[in-house]
Structure 1
């Protein structure tokens, strides 16, 4: 399945480790990562997924596919700026939300509008987000939600 992973563009070393671990978990289970395609959470989750043999899709805010991070397999240039935040959760079967700011919160909102299962690991505490404690639990939860 495709799993949208959302989170901050600027993150701490600990948050980078968590995002990479989520990517490795998704990649090792054969899932495709969908993200915003740039730095921070997006780069870390893609790096983790690629290290585990997974594939990645980056939905970029600019009109330049070459702005994708080095771990994106398929770069989709939109030219939409922040409006591309609607497309990231739309293109996943489920969403894993990591630490982030207002952009992450907008993507959580769109995930809810699109009725995507949303699992949170160190993210915003809002209704509709199932909170988990580990990367493996996050992937377990999205797998369970999509199978239901």
Structure 2
């Protein structure tokens, strides 16, 4: 079975985050991974476009109860009606999670993925979480760029 890699990131992303997500999608597709995402705009649309352009499969786990507003590059759109609760479903379905950029929803996806404790979680840019002593908690793998993020997720 092909690896399922969730790519999480904000709907309102920077141009750099959009470029990074598109490249992550392309590289994942070229490695034969199925890309999972939230299925809407921003990082989600960019990763879907990158994967689809490379002939990959992209599954959108939608927060809404129908496919309205889903990005056009999805292969499969799964409406959940769960609102932000779909974040748990998204990261639970994944063999690894790549986070591109940062937002409150993206932070919740990172946190849920880390709570699973048994999948790689890779961060490319975005927010940094610090403990009370100002240190990063262990576990999140930080990538230098899209190729590094894909390598850390799949290897």
Same fold (TM over 0.5): yes
Structure 2 CA distance, aligned partners of 1:138 and 1:12? 18
Structure 1 CA distance, aligned partners of 2:101 and 2:148? 16
Partner of 1:120: 123
Q: Which runs of 4+ in 1 moved over 3 A?
A: none
Structure 1 residue 122, shift from structure 2 partner: 0.4
Partner of 1:20: 22
Most deviating of 86-95 and 122-131: 122-131
Residue number among 87, 90, 101 corresponding to 1:88 in the alignment: 90
Greater fraction helix: 1
Matches within 5 A, 1:13-52: 13-52=15-54
Structure 2 CA distance, aligned partners of 1:45 and 1:67? 16
Cα deviation, 1:82-110, whole Å, max 9, x if unaligned, reads: 11111111111000011021100000011
State whether residues 9 and 100 of structure 1, in contact with CA within 8 Å, keep that contact through their aligned partners in structure 2: no
- How much is the aligned-residue C-alpha RMSD, in angstroms? 1.0
The size of the alignment, in residue pairs, is: 144
Match of 2:98, SS? strand
Mark the structure with the bigger radius of gyration.
2
Structure 2 CA distance, aligned partners of 1:139 and 1:18? 11
Partner of 2:140: 129
Q: TM-score, normalised by structure 1?
A: 0.93
Q: TM-score, normalised by structure 2?
A: 0.89
- Please list every run of 5 or more consecutive structure 2 residues that lacks an aligned counterpart in the other structure: 130-136
